[in-house]
A and B are shown apart, each in its own frame.
Chain A
Amino acid sequence: MTLLHWAILAPFLFATFIPLVYKKIPKIHTGWFVLVLPVVLFLYFLQLLLSQKHQETMISTVEWIPSLGINFTAYVDGLGLLFALLITGIGSLVVLYSIYYLSKEKEQLHTFYVYLLMFMGAMLGVVLSDNTIVLYTFWELTSFSSFLLIGYWYHREKSIYGAQKSMLITVFGGLSMLGGFILLYLMTGTFSIRETIANVDTILSHDLFLFAMILILLGAFTKSAQFPFYIWLPDAMEAPTPVSAYLHSATMVKAGIYLVARFSPIFAFSAEWFWTVSLFGIFTLFWGSFNAVKQTDLKAILAFSTVSQLGMIMSLLGVGAASLHFENVQFYTVATLAAIFHLINHATFKGSLFMVVGIIDHETGTRDIRKLGGLMSLMPITFTIAIIGAFSMAGLPPFNGFLSKEMFFTSMIRVLEMDLFRADTWGILLPILAWTGSVFTFLYSMVLVFKTFTGKLQKEKLPKVPHEAPIGMLIPPIILASLVVIFGFFPDLLAYTLIEPAMASVLPSLLTDKDHFHVHIEMWHGFTPELFMTIGVILLGTVLFLTLPKWKKIYNLQPEKLTLNKMYDRFLSTLDDTSSRFTRFYMTGFIRDYLVYIFAFMIVLVGTSMAIQEAFSFNPDHSASIGIYEVILALVMIAGTLTTVFSKSRLTAIIALGSVGYSLSLFFVLFRAPDLALTQLIIETVSVALFLLAFYHLPELKRKEKRLRFRIVNFIISLGVGTIVTLVAISSHSERVSETIASYFIENSYELGGGKNMVNVILVDFRGFDTMFEITVLGIAALAIYSMIKLRLSRREEG
Chain B
Amino acid sequence: MTFSLYLFFAGHNAPGGGFIGGLMTSAAIVLLLIAYDVKTVKNILPVNYLKMTAVGLLIAVMTGVGSFLFGVPFLTHTFGHFHLPVLGETELATAVLFDLGVYLVVIGVTMTIIQTIGETE
Contact of B60 with A679 in the complex, beta carbons under 8 Å: no
Partner of B13, one of A693, A756, A763, A768: A756
Contact of A763 with B116 in the complex, beta carbons under 8 Å: no
Q: Give a binary string over A763-797; 1 marks a CB under 8 Å from any B CB, 0 the rest.
A: 11100110110011011011101100110000000
List, in ascending order, chain B residues with CB within 8 A of A569's CB: none
Measured CA separation A763–B112 after assembly (Å): 24
Partner of A757, one of B13, B101, B117: B13
Measured CA separation A781–B108 after assembly (Å): 11
Q: Given the known A-B contacts A779-B54, A779-B57, A785-B116, are A761 and B20 also in contact in the complex, defined by CB atoms under 8 Å?
A: no
Q: Give a binary string over B28-63; 1 marks a CB under 8 Å from any A CB, 0 the rest.
A: 000000000000000000000110011011001100
Contact of B117 with A789 in the complex, beta carbons under 8 Å: yes
Contact of B54 with A761 in the complex, beta carbons under 8 Å: no
Cβ of B95 < 8 Å from any Cβ of A? Answer: yes
Q: Given the known A-B contacts A776-B57, A782-B53, are A760 and B17 also in contact in the complex, defined by CB atoms under 8 Å?
A: yes
Contact of A772 with B12 in the complex, beta carbons under 8 Å: no
Contact of A753 with B116 in the complex, beta carbons under 8 Å: no
Cβ of A470 < 8 Å from any Cβ of B? Answer: no
Specify the chain A residue showing the minimal Cβ separation from B24: A682
Measured CA separation A778–B17 after assembly (Å): 16
Measured CA separation A778–B50 after assembly (Å): 11
List, in ascending order, chain B residues with CB within 8 A of A189's CB: none
Measured CA separation A637–B101 after assembly (Å): 35
Partner of B17, one of A753, A763, A775, A783: A763
Partner of B93, one of A693, A754, A779: A754
Give the number of residues in B that approach A within 8 Å (Cβ atoms).
46
Specify the chain A residue showing the minimal Cβ separation from B61: A772
| Cβ < 8 Å to B, chain A residues 655-687 | 674-675, 678-679, 682-683, 686
Give the most central of A679, A686, A690, A693: most B CB within 10 Å. A686
List, in ascending order, chain B residues with CB within 8 A of A675's CB: 15-17, 19-20
Measured CA separation A761–B109 after assembly (Å): 23
Contact of B16 with A764 in the complex, beta carbons under 8 Å: no
Q: Give a binary string over B1-26; 1 marks a CB under 8 Å from any A CB, 0 the rest.
A: 00000010011111111111001100
Cβ of B79 < 8 Å from any Cβ of A? Answer: yes
Contact of A678 with B91 in the complex, beta carbons under 8 Å: no
B108 to chain A, nearest CB (A): 7
List, in ascending order, chain B residues with CB within 8 A of A764's CB: 17-18, 77, 95, 98-99, 102
List, in ascending order, chain A residues with CB within 8 A of B91's CB: 754
Contact of B99 with A781 in the complex, beta carbons under 8 Å: no
Specify the chain B residue showing the minimal Cβ separation from A790: B116
Measured CA separation A786–B120 after assembly (Å): 11
Contact of A778 with B106 in the complex, beta carbons under 8 Å: yes
List, in ascending order, chain A residues with CB within 8 A of B108's CB: 779, 782
Apart from A765-B77, A769-B75, A775-B102: 12 A-B pairs, beta carbons within 8 A: A674-B15, A675-B16, A690-B117, A753-B12, A753-B79, A757-B13, A760-B17, A775-B60, A778-B53, A782-B108, A783-B112, A789-B119
Q: Give 8 pairs: A residue, B residue, CB < 8 Å, sorted on A.
A: A678-B16, A682-B24, A760-B99, A764-B77, A772-B75, A775-B57, A779-B56, A786-B50
